Structure 1
Amino acid sequence: MTPQDILTPAVLALALVGYVTCFARMFWLTFAGTAVLALLISTTFAFSPENFPYWGAGACIAMAAAYAARFFNVARNRRRAVGKEQHSGAASDVVIDGTNVMYWDGEADLRTLRSVVDQLRGKGMMPFVFFDASSRHHLGDPSLDEKGFAKALGLKRNRIMVCPARTEADAFILKFAREQQLPVVSNDRFGDRAQQAKGLKLIKGGVAGGRPILEGL
């Protein structure tokens, strides 16, 4: 076997790898370059019946390279997405007793609750917020619904629950937190539901200088 017999396949393989890489990084530019090259070759190597096998082989190589480049890009993007997710980490959920927290700075105020929500999100925690049905009246806006609370707090609608009238939000909060094994942000001691609250992590807090202070994170 001569050196040429060894080098020729190696050079062709490297050329094919380079061709696939060009398709992966600059698809349309490579496609246009391939078309121009084919037109130039056709001036000396005509599209005649005896040459069809060669032109067909060339077309198959070009299509195979384009497909390989697409597969490479999909796999690369998937690896990047997984790596980004692993790097950033998924946000951990937390339950907020919205009716309790909105009073932390004295009068009922959604801005107080929003500041707590924002602080938790800044720490990588995504809240579920529960309200007593009476909360909207305490805020002076009987028209507030789950969609309105979600907009005011910068959360998705499925992160808000306004409990039915003549029920206590505590029961819903503790049941949900226990089922999902989530901590609860509230200054309520849940004394009348001590058994339900037993074992749950409680995060207490307040407002100082206009900023929320959370204890037990």
Structure 2
Amino acid sequence: MKITVVILLLTISLLGVTASYVLPGWRDLILIAGPSAFAAFILLVWTVVRRRKPSKVPSKWGILDGSNVMHWKDGAPGLQAVQDVVIALQRRGYGIGVVFDANAGYLLTGRYQHDKLALRLSLPRDNVLVVHKGEPADPRILTMARDMGAVVVTNDRYRDWDAQFPEVRKPGHLVRGGYRDGTLWRDLPDG
């Protein structure tokens, strides 16, 4: 809401409060003007506070192929590699989305883990997707990356999908990574 509209509402409400005290026969106006003035004041405070907080919408995004990245460390499925990549990308100012195959929870814990994966990665639920059983994750990952202008963090080459998603052949679109001597590495483009 624009601050000028809120100030106008507050001014009109305060005039009504004043009129209810000053003008004889207008006392009942306080029943409307009083709550209106209070509500307009709350709106004014909320609008000013909201304007002071800069929006932290990332300008660049990384979509993690969670089922691929979770095998980067020692080849066994685990969330440590995914957590390490999430932290590394966040430090570089990336917004994060993670997409897992339907069986990811079973590989990690022996049962379905959709919302719990987001919690374990310290990400909002909307940023983690476990595709439905029988649905391939690859086209979802590539579509999300296309729609968001994001890089895809994976060691998969997506050769089965390069006709539909030719951007996978573009240098820097697929970010490879892994561990060397226990240290995470990734071929993240500068910028």
TM-score range, shorter chain: 0.5 to 0.7
1:91 corresponding residue in structure 2:
58
Change (3 A) 1:76 1:162: closer
CA radius of gyration, larger in: 1
Where does 1:24-173 land on structure 2 (aligned, <5 Å)? 82=51, 84-85=53-54, 90-92=57-59, 93-106=61-74, 107-139=76-108, 141-173=109-141
Contact 1:102 1:110 in 2 (8 A): yes
Report how far residue 112 of structure 1 moved.
Answer: 1.1
**CA distance, structure 2, for counterparts of residue 207 and residue 197 of structure 1:** 28
Report how far residue 114 of structure 1 moved.
Answer: 0.7
TM-score, normalization by structure 2: 0.65
Contact 1:150 1:156 in 2 (8 A): yes
Contact 1:94 1:127 in 2 (8 A): yes
Report how far residue 207 of structure 1 moved.
Answer: 1.7
Root-mean-square deviation (CA, aligned residues, Å) is 3.3
**CA distance, structure 1, for counterparts of residue 184 and residue 139 of structure 2:** 25
Structure 1 stretches of 5 or more lacking a match?
1-55, 58-70
**CA distance, structure 2, for counterparts of residue 143 and residue 185 of structure 1:** 25
Compare the two structures and name the one with the higher helix fraction. Answer: 1
2:177 corresponds to which of 177, 199, 205: 205
What amino acid maps onto 1:146 in structure 2?
A: H
1:216 corresponding residue in structure 2:
189
1:42 corresponding residue in structure 2:
none
Report how far residue 128 of structure 1 moved.
Answer: 1.0
- Number of positions where the alignment pairs a residue of Structure 1 with one of Structure 2: 157
Report how far residue 82 of structure 1 moved.
Answer: 4.4
Contact 1:202 1:216 in 2 (8 A): no
**CA distance, structure 1, for counterparts of residue 114 and residue 160 of structure 2:** 27
Identity between Structure 1 and Structure 2 (%): 28
**CA distance, structure 1, for counterparts of residue 181 and residue 51 of structure 2:** 41
**CA distance, structure 1, for counterparts of residue 53 and residue 181 of structure 2:** 36
